[in-house]
Amino acid sequence: MKDMGLKKMNNLKMSMVCPIHNEGQYLPYFLASLRYIEGEIDEKIFVLDNCTDNSKTLIKHYFPGAKIYEIYNHLWRFYAAESFQHGFEQASGDVILAVGADLVLDSDIISILQKQFVNKKVGMVCFRFLNYDLFSTLLRLHGEYNNLYMTMLQHIRNETRYTGVYAFRKQMMVEIGGLADIISEYDEYCRRVKQEGWNIVYITYTRILHLRSGLSAKKQFMQGVARYYLPSYNLKKTLFHSFIHLSPQLIVGYIHAKRYGLEMVGTLR
């Protein structure tokens, strides 16, 4: 009993932040997976961004004690970044886990975070996810192809790669600031984390499912736009990725941004 008490004292307090905009069709899957680890998360924060569906009702049904914040008016151009940052600012945990409502979480995710953040130099932990589109067979097959490609690639290159599932140390956010109001806030934040001397850990072996694949034409296009503004990408690299990932709209979005800039793209979540 004494060892268990000591272990509990040494554990970091965990907060989870999940922005939501009309996610009723995905939320039951996400909330069901969250139930498996609810005892390991000290604070569950949901940011409802102009929701008009039953998302709030579903959250209250699964987690009556969750903290729910609602946003109706935006100050930022990029709504997803603003919703995440709003949730981050409400979080009181030592570690903040940022997730989307279109995920099925791995039941080991919190225990992994507890182990990784023992290292005081670690500022951020990112998780690989697997694509599994719920509603489109074609996108599901496309996702399986990309899952296989990424599995092969991570045996060749072992650096941090793009992922929207991550956790960070609250102390670090206090020191270096939060997300920026830009089209690819995650990439910019990762660069800032490393520039400030913090380590980023990329976890490849968790089985987190992404139920709304980023492989739709609209998502491909916006990823292409984002890549135009990222210093680590250029036309040749984006063209290669567009080909190897079977994502033709990726290069279309890149060229569109190069010609017309963000003003012709509009504001998207």
Provide the pLDDT confidence category of residue 169 given band limits of 50, 70 and 90: very high
- Render pLDDT for 216-248 as a digit per residue (tens, 0 to 9): 566 666 666 666 666 767 777 767 666 666 667
| pLDDT tens profile 53-73 | 999 999 999 999 999 999 999
Task: Using the Cα atoms of residue 176, residue 19, residue 31 and residue 164 in order, give the sign of their dihedral.
Answer: negative
Residue range 148-168: mean pLDDT, rounded: 71
Quick one: DSSP state of residue 262?
G
Average pLDDT over residues 158-171: 78
What is the average pLDDT score of the chain? 83
Report pLDDT for 161: 59
pLDDT given for residue 233 in this prediction:
73
17-34 residue pLDDT tens: 999 999 999 999 999 999
CATH no., domain 2-213: 3.90.550.10
In the numeric block, the tokens 């069709």 are attached to 25
Q: Tell me which residue has tokens 């600031």.
A: 177
pTM value is: 0.80
Distance CA 163, CA 166 (A): 7
pLDDT at 237: 72
The token duo for 175 is: 């020191």
> What digits encode the pLDDT tens for the residues 137-155?
777 677 677 767 777 766 6
Q: Where are the domains of the chain?
A: 2-213, 216-269
